[in-house]
């Protein structure tokens, strides 16, 4: 059980991250012919080979772009509405962690895209990813979000079957 | 969580559900807590989108570019395609493979390889040009056999049907030109053969598609020009770059005077590999590539060039020697000149000055590896500069510099306003145009012109990384260039890289070459039509 303050803070964090991810998704949708190719070309560290493989196959790149854009929109919507909150939070954490692994600010890795802050190993992407893990561990959908209805619906069905 | 009293029996359960509200009002409100947030988000998203669109449109409207659309690929009308065109290819090295691909033919091995890595689709979507490669001529058996395998492959682009005309190998180009069953030839030999073969082909009434450079000497160039002009053949020089859709946009940008008065055009070559410096006689393992006196007709390969003993170095690395071509000027500046000439119609320069030397690749080469050529057009009040290095690959692009803006024209177009522009003074002061980054970019794949707004977009546009392979097909520019030539053969029109353009280019190149060799400034005498 959480105190009311803990509930407010958790819900606020969920809404803000949801907002951010939802807009990331929509902004990709709104740029004509947006592609993850630029980002993947810049990939350094352990996922370089995988990223190159994606870029060299037009069909796969296409699929990745589609899944990425709509994945972000789905995750963002889920977090804001508190619908399937835990699934949304875990998927978001994994997605963000993949972004992080593609361009971690490690010593010796140089990127041609300038970053908007100063990072050493830890970046905002990594922090946001861990924040999503926190949201999965401390679920808030069951007291503020559509998960309440999902819960009810499931419980009722279970009861009917009894 | 609120606990509700558990009903005991089944009938009680149903009864209970019918009477009591399933969810309390307060719980429902909590469940819907995210909805207003989503509402605000949607509202803000719409506001942001409208703002971005308005800003983009404002810049495009100010510049009169709001109605530019990417041109569609023009389909040949079926009426003009009735006659099968029989094509012979003279010189079947790597460039001829691209020509064959453009004609809709591909080697079975390439078909398989490209099928695996998902790049066959674009080629396969090429329109069938109703042509047949019926003749292959190469002095080297291995190359000729490669050509025959390509010409005989029945898997064709655009649903082309294999013709029942047998594919013939010709030992000499004269033999091919004498054959009545050849309508047109494509020439992709070393440069010293270009003009002699073109002249012979024009005399034989065969249409010509010839790789650059047009001619190796002044005498050849003048004779070629006269012969082609006095014939009825359609001549196209192999400059495929202006076939790119972005060239159409660039033309519009020039026409709309977005750049202001253009006084300097800077073109460059930036290479830093042995392959780029035309050292190509070794394979990946450092062993000499195949070919010897038994399989290569060396006398024919030399043609009019001075007689020298067979050399695998000369055979594969002919570009290094002035006997066969004019180096950077003939191989790479030709493309630059044509790009500029297609856009600005500059024609023959009044004067040319070249300087350079062999500073890095100190082998047996004649050609400089660092070279600068300056061409003056006093009538146009414009200087064309060519700066080339084979020892550094820093990308310097191709830039048209006007008083109001600069246009970098590569695989994408990027236009940056000049900080001291007269025309954009107000917009720069109002913050609508930022001279520190590109104000317009054109991405050939997105099919539309865009005013650049976000920092990331600006960043990628500046480096030409905005290209994508998402929607639409990647169309091969060589195919478009060949298609233009073939359409002109059927319609009697003049192609873009016509004999006139080839002559202008040939003169400019030979002026620069003469200047380098004779270490002096050369000029064009328009009255006597010769370089002095």
Q: Which of A29, A38, A77 is the best mutation test for B, with the most CBs of B within 10 A?
A: A38
CA distance A99 to chain B (A): 16
Residue B461: pLDDT over 70? no
* Strands of B262-270's sheet in order across: B448-451, B440-443, B413-417, B405-409, B399-402, B262-270, B382-389, B370-377, B351-357, B522-525, B530-531
Tell me what the mean pLDDT of segment B256-273 comes to: 94
pLDDT of amino acid B51: 85
Q: What strands lie across the sheet with B184-187, from one edge to the other?
A: B168-170, B131-137, B85-90, B184-187, B207-210, B235-237
Q: Kindly tell me if the per-residue pLDDT of B125 is higher than 90.
A: no
Phi and psi angles of residue B262, each rounded to the nearest 5 degrees, phi first: -90, 120
Residue of B nearest to A33 (CA): B446
Q: How far is CA B477 from CA A77, B241, B480, in A?
A: 44, 7, 5
State the sign of the Cα–Cα–Cα–Cα dihedral A141, A146, A150, A155.
positive
Residue ranges in B235-359 assigned as alpha helix (H): 245-255, 298-302, 312-316, 327-328, 334-344
In the predicted structure, residue A48 carries a pLDDT above the cut 90? no
What percent of chain B is predicted at pLDDT more than 70? 86
Beta-carbon separation of A61 and B119 below 8 A: no
Cβ separation A15–B41 shorter than 8 A:
no
Is the distance from CB of B249 to CB of B449 less than 8 angstroms? yes
Helices vs. strands in chain A: H and E counts, helices first? 7, 0
Question: CA-nearest residue of chain B to A63?
Answer: B470
Q: Give the rounded percent of residues in chain B with a pLDDT score beyond 90.
A: 63
List residues in chain B touching A: CB distance below 8 A: 1, 13, 17, 22-23, 27-28, 30-35, 37-38, 41, 45, 49, 52, 117-119, 121, 443, 445-446, 448, 450, 456-457, 459-460, 463, 465-466, 468-471
Q: Phi/psi class of residue B130: alpha, beta or left (left: φ > 0; alpha: ψ in -120 to 50)?
A: left
Residues B191 and B296: their CA atoms lie apart, in Å, by 18
Nearest Cα to B525, choosing from B377, B374, B350?
B350
Residue B474's pLDDT is what? 63
Nearest chain A residue to B1 by CA distance is A143
Q: Cα(A152)–Cα(B207) distance, rounded to whole angstroms?
A: 80
Higher pLDDT, B473 or B433: B433
A-chain CB neighbours of B448 within 8 Å are: 32
**Closest-CA residue to B214 (of B326, B124, B321):** B326
User: Residue A36: closest CA among chain B residues belongs to which residue?
Assistant: B468
B10: closest CA of chain A, how far (Å): 9
Q: Examine residue B213 and say whether the peptide bond preceding it is cis (omega within 30 degrees of 0).
A: yes
Interchain pair A35, B468: CB under 8 A = yes
Instruction: Give the bridge partners for B251, in sequence order.
Output: none
Closest by Cβ to B31, choosing from A30, A33, A149: A149
Give bridge partners of residue B414 from the DSSP assignment: B408, B441
| pLDDT tens-place string over residues B21-46 | 567 888 888 888 899 999 999 999 99
With a cut of 90, say whether residue B385 has pLDDT above it: yes
A19 contacts chain B (CB < 8 A): yes
Q: Which residue has the tokens 């392959």?
A: B275
Residue B210 has pLDDT above 70, yes or no: yes
Report the alpha-carbon distance of residue B90 to residue B147 in Å, rounded. 10
Residue B377 is encoded by which pair of tokens? 């057009």
Q: Give the closest-approach CA distance of A58 to chain B in angstroms.
A: 7
Give the mean pLDDT of A37-46: 81
Mark yes or no for CB contact B34/A22 under 8 Å. Answer: no
CA B165 to chain centroid, in Å, comes to 32
Relative orientation angle of helices B94-103 and B477-491, to the nearest 10 degrees: 60
CB count within 10 Å of CB A119 equals 15
Q: Is the pLDDT of residue A58 over 80?
A: no
Binned at pLDDT 50, 70 and 90, residue B69 comes out as low
Rg of chain A over CA atoms, in angstroms?
Answer: 18
Which residue of B45, B459, B466 is in closest CB contact with A26? B45
CA pair distance B196, B372, nearest whole angstrom: 29
Tokens coding B401: 């510099």
Report how far Cα B233 is from the mean position of its chain's Cα atoms: 25
DSSP B206-240: -EEEEPSPS-SSHHHHHHHHHHHHTS---EEE---
pLDDT, mean of residues B276-303? 93
User: Taking the CB of residue B82, how many other CB atoms lie within 10 A of it?
Assistant: 8
Average pLDDT over chain B, rounded to whole? 86
Using DSSP's 3-state secondary structure scheme, residue B118 falls into coil
Q: Which of B226, B230, B137 is nearest to B187 (CA)?
A: B137
Ranges assigned E (strand) in B281-402:
351-357, 370-377, 382-389, 399-402
* Amino acid B74: pLDDT: 55
Would you say residue A44 has pLDDT above 90?
no
Report, as an integer, the average pLDDT of B125-145.
93
Q: Is the pLDDT of residue A64 over 70?
A: yes
- Output the CA angle A102-A107-A109, nearest 5 degrees: 45
**CB contact set of B80 (below 8 Å; sequence gap of 6+):** B487, B490, B491
**Listed residue (B72, B458, B39) closest to A31, CA to CA:** B458
Q: What is the mean pLDDT of residues A44-64?
A: 84
Between CA B268 and CA B389 the distance in angstroms is 8
CB proximity A2 to B under 8 Å:
no
- Please give the span between the terminal C-alpha atoms of chain A, in angstroms, as a whole number: 28
B129: exposed, middle or buried (Cβ count in 10 Å: 0-12, 13-18, 19+): buried
What angle in degrees, to the nearest 10, is found between the helix axes of B334-344 and B499-518? 130
- Contact yes or no for B34 and A58 at CB 8 A: no
- Chain mean position to CA B114: 20
Q: Where are the domains of chain A?
A: 4-161
Burial class (CB in 10 A: 0-12, 13-18, 19+), B144: buried
8 A C-beta contact, residue B503 and residue B225: yes
Taking the C-alpha atoms of residue B215 and residue B223, their distance in angstroms, rounded to an integer, is 10
Q: Do B23 and A152 touch (CB under 8 A)?
A: yes
B459 has a pLDDT exceeding 50: no
Out of B69-83, B349-363, B482-496, least confident range: B69-83
Question: Is the CB of A80 less than 8 angstroms away from the CB of B37?
Answer: yes
A80: nearest CB among B41, B443, B456? B41
- The confidence band for B347, taking pLDDT boundaries of 50, 70 and 90, is very high
> Could you report the per-residue pLDDT of A105-133, keeping only the tens digit for each?
888 887 766 677 888 999 999 999 999 99
**Cα-Cα-Cα-Cα dihedral of B519, B525, B526, B530, to 10°?**
-70
Domains recognised in chain B with CATH numbers: 78-243+479-505 (3.40.50.720)
Asked if A13 is an interface residue toward chain B (Cβ–Cβ < 8 A), one would say no
Contacts 24+ apart (CB under 8 A), B293-299: B295/B140, B295/B141, B295/B142, B296/B139, B296/B140, B296/B141, B297/B139, B297/B140, B297/B171, B298/B139
What does R_g of chain B's alpha carbons equal in angstroms? 30
- Quick one: pLDDT at residue B358? 98
pLDDT band at residue A46 under the 50/70/90 scheme = confident
B22 contacts in chain A (CB < 8 Å): 152, 156
Amino acid B5: pLDDT: 45
* Helices A147-161 and B10-19, packing angle to 10 deg: 150
Q: What is the length of chain B? A: 532
The pLDDT of residue B462 is: 42
The length of chain A is: 162
């Amino acid at each position: 059980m959480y105190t009311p303050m803990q509930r407010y803070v958790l819900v606020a964090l969920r809404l803000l991250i949801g907002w951010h991810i939802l807009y990331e998704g929509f902004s990709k949708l709104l740029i004509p012919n947006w592609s993850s190719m630029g980002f993947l070309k810049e990939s350094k560290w352990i996922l370089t080979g995988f990223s190159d493989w994606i870029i060299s196959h037009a069909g796969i790149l296409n699929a990745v772009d589609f899944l990425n854009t709509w994945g972000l929109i789905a995750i963002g919507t889920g977090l804001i509405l508190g619908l399937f909150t835990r699934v949304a939070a875990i998927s978001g954490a994994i997605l963000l962690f993949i972004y992080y692994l593609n361009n971690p600010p490690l010593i010796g890795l140089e990127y041609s895209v300038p970053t908007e802050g100063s990072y050493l190993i830890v970046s905002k992407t990594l922090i946001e990813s861990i924040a999503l893990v926190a949201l999965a561990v401390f679920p808030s959908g069951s007291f503020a979000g559509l998960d309440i209805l999902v819960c009810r619906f499931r419980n009722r069905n279970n009861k009917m079957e009894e | 969580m609120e606990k509700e009293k558990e009903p005991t029996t089944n009938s009680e359960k149903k009864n209970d559900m019918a009477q009591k509200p399933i969810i309390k009002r307060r719980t429902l409100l909590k469940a819907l807590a995210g909805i207003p947030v989503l509402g605000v988000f949607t509202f803000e998203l719409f506001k942001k989108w409208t703002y971005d669109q308005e800003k983009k449109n404002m810049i495009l409207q100010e510049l009169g570019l709001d109605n530019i659309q990417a041109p569609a690929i023009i389909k040949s009308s079926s009426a003009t395609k009735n006659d099968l065109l029989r094509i012979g290819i003279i010189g079947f090295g790597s460039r001829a493979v691209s020509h064959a691909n453009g004609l809709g033919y591909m080697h079975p091995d390439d078909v398989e390889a490209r099928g695996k890595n998902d790049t066959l689709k674009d080629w396969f979507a090429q329109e069938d040009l109703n042509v047949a490669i019926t003749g292959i001529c190469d002095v080297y058996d291995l190359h000729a056999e490669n050509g025959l395998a390509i010409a005989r492959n029945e898997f064709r682009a655009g649903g082309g049907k294999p013709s029942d005309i047998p594919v013939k190998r010709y030992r000499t180009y004269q033999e091919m030109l004498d054959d009545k069953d050849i309508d047109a030839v494509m020439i992709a030999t070393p440069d010293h053969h270009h003009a002699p073969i073109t002249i012979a082909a024009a005399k034989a009434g065969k249409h010509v598609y010839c790789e650059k450079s047009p001619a190796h000497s002044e005498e050849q160039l003048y004779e070629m020009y006269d012969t082609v002009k006095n014939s009825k053949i359609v001549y196209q020089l192999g400059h495929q770059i202006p076939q790119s859709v972005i060239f159409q946009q660039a033309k519009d940008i020039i026409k709309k005077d977005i750049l202001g008065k253009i006084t300097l055009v800077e073109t460059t070559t930036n290479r830093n590999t042995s392959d780029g410096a035309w050292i190509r006689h070794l394979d990946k393992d450092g062993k000499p590539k195949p070919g010897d006196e038994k399989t290569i007709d060396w006398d024919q390969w030399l043609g009019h060039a001075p007689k020298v003993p067979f050399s695998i170095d000369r055979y594969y690395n002919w570009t290094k020697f002035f006997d066969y071509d004019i180096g950077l000027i003939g191989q790479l500046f030709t493309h630059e000149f044509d790009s500029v000439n297609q856009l600005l119609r500059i024609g023959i320069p009044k004067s040319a000055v070249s300087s350079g030397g062999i500073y890095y690749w100190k082998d047996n080469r004649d050609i400089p590896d660092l070279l600068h050529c300056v061409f003056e057009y006093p009538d146009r009040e414009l200087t064309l500069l060519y700066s080339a290095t084979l020892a550094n690959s820093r990308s310097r692009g191709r830039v048209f510099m006007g008083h109001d803006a600069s246009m970098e024209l590569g695989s994408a177009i990027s236009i940056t306003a000049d900080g001291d522009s007269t025309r954009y003074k107000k917009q720069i002061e109002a913050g609508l145009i930022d001279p520190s980054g590109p104000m317009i970019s054109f991405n050939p794949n997105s099919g539309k012109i865009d005013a650049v707004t976000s920092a990331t977009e600006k960043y990628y546009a500046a480096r030409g990384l905005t290209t994508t392979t998402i929607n639409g097909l990647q169309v091969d520019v060589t195919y478009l260039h060949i298609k233009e030539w073939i359409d002109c053969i059927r319609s009697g029109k003049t192609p873009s890289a016509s004999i006139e353009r080839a002559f202008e280019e040939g003169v400019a190149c030979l002026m620069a070459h003469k200047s380098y060799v004779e270490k002096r400034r050369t000029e064009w005498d328009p009255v006597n039509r010769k370089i002095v």
